[in-house]
Chains A and B, each alone.
Chain A
Amino acid sequence: MNQATAHPVIERYLRDLERAAQALPRRERRELLAEIRAHLEEGLAASDASDAAVLNLIDGLGEPEAIVASAGPTTPVRGPGVLEVLAVLLLLIGGIVIPVLGWFVGLVLLWASSAWTLQKKLLGTFVFPGGIALPLMMGLMATRVGLPPWAGIPLLIVLVAAPIVVAIVLLRSAERPAR
């Protein structure tokens, strides 16, 4: 955060605004927050940056709820749909149900959906290709080569946990554009 907006009153205001703006689609929320932040920085730069100036600036902006309300009636952003849930499931365990192909179908669904950002799609693709099938196979192989349990078991847990965590992240962050 910029030094100018590091004032506790401003920080609290921005947090409140962020909470109120949850109802807005991701993109609009980001833009609104960036604009309000810029407004505060600009206003502070033009003032003596005293506590009174900060309070006046905040008063001038108005209640976070009022700001978000002026975005007009917002259709609540929808969470994951059937396709999104299916995509995540297939990415995670599709590789076990139908080796390779199951995971691959999940991948196609992941990239076809508009519910995720590019970042999230990349995350879903690379952690891990094959879902938990791959770490399980690697784990089996590791026991065959005789990796000592004190090294093998924690490694296996991490390898299995990572795709599960990613699956949860994907489900929670899925945000379908309002109709």
Chain B
Amino acid sequence: MDNGRTDIAQLRRGIVEYCLLALLVERERYGFELVRTLSDADLVASEGTVYPLLTRLAREGYVTTTWRESRSGPPRKYYALTVRGREALRDFSEEWGRFRTTVDELLSEGNER
């Protein structure tokens, strides 16, 4: 684990993808909106890194994209969850619950020793 930083970066990236899907459950959102939400929540260090993740989610069919004119400014690219994306998010949520409990337990045991 000599490159622990890359490990954590990858872990983070994987989780951020599902956070993006989660943000789209209620309604479609545009890129800037998604990115700002994540960075306000301190989930991403640099905002730009979110865009390639969005592109990948689109390429793999988890979201669809549409450019739309906006009344107030430049056109916006909207992302919407697909059935496939919804299923992937559900699977992740279940897995995440189990994962989190296990890791929390192990980490707290480690701290107590």
Count contacts between A and B, CB distance < 8 Å: 74
In the assembly, what is the distance between CA of A47 and CA of B96, in Å? Answer: 37
A43: interface (CB < 8 Å)? yes
From A32, A38, A69, B74 is in contact (CB under 8 Å) with: A38
B1 to chain A, nearest CB (A): 19
From B31, B46, B59, B76, A67 is in contact (CB under 8 Å) with: B46
A10 to chain B, nearest CB (A): 13
B32 to chain A, nearest CB (A): 4
Question: A4: which B residues are within 8 A, CB to CB?
Answer: 74
Which of A66, A69, A70 has most B Cβ within 10 Å? A70
Do A39 and B31 touch across chains, with their CB atoms under 8 A apart?
Answer: yes
Question: A60: which B residues are within 8 A, CB to CB?
Answer: 39, 46-48
Contact string against B for A residues 38-51, beta-carbon threshold 8 Å, 1 for contact and 0 otherwise? 11011101000000
A36: interface (CB < 8 Å)? yes
Please count how many residues in chain B sit with their CB below 8 Å of the partner chain's CB atoms.
24
From B31, B46, B56, A38 is in contact (CB under 8 Å) with: B31
From A28, A34, A43, A62, B32 is in contact (CB under 8 Å) with: A43
Interface footprint category on A: 20 to 34
In the assembly, what is the distance between CA of A6 and CA of B32, in Å? Answer: 19
Do B52 and A32 touch across chains, with their CB atoms under 8 A apart?
Answer: yes
Contact string against A for B residues 39-81, beta-carbon threshold 8 Å, 1 for contact and 0 otherwise? 1000001111111111110010000000000001111110000
A170: interface (CB < 8 Å)? no
Please judge, given known A-B contacts A4-B74, A60-B39, whether A39 and B55 are in contact too, CB under 8 Å: no
The chain B residue with its CB closest to the CB of A34 is B77
From A31, A43, A61, B46 is in contact (CB under 8 Å) with: A61
From B48, B54, B72, B73, A66 is in contact (CB under 8 Å) with: B48
In the assembly, what is the distance between CA of A69 and CA of B6, in Å? Answer: 11
A104 to chain B, nearest CB (A): 36
A157: interface (CB < 8 Å)? no
B12 to chain A, nearest CB (A): 10
Question: A38: which B residues are within 8 A, CB to CB?
Answer: 31-32, 74-77
B-contacting residues of A (Cβ < 8 Å)? 2, 4, 28, 31-32, 34-36, 38-39, 41-43, 45, 60-64, 66-72
9 interchain residue pairs of minimum CB distance: A62-B46, A71-B52, A61-B48, A70-B49, A67-B48, A41-B74, A45-B73, A42-B32, A35-B51
Given contacts A42-B73, A67-B52, 17 further A-B contacts (CB under 8 A): A4-B74, A28-B55, A35-B51, A38-B32, A38-B75, A38-B76, A38-B77, A39-B35, A42-B76, A60-B39, A60-B47, A61-B48, A63-B46, A67-B49, A70-B52, A71-B56, A72-B52
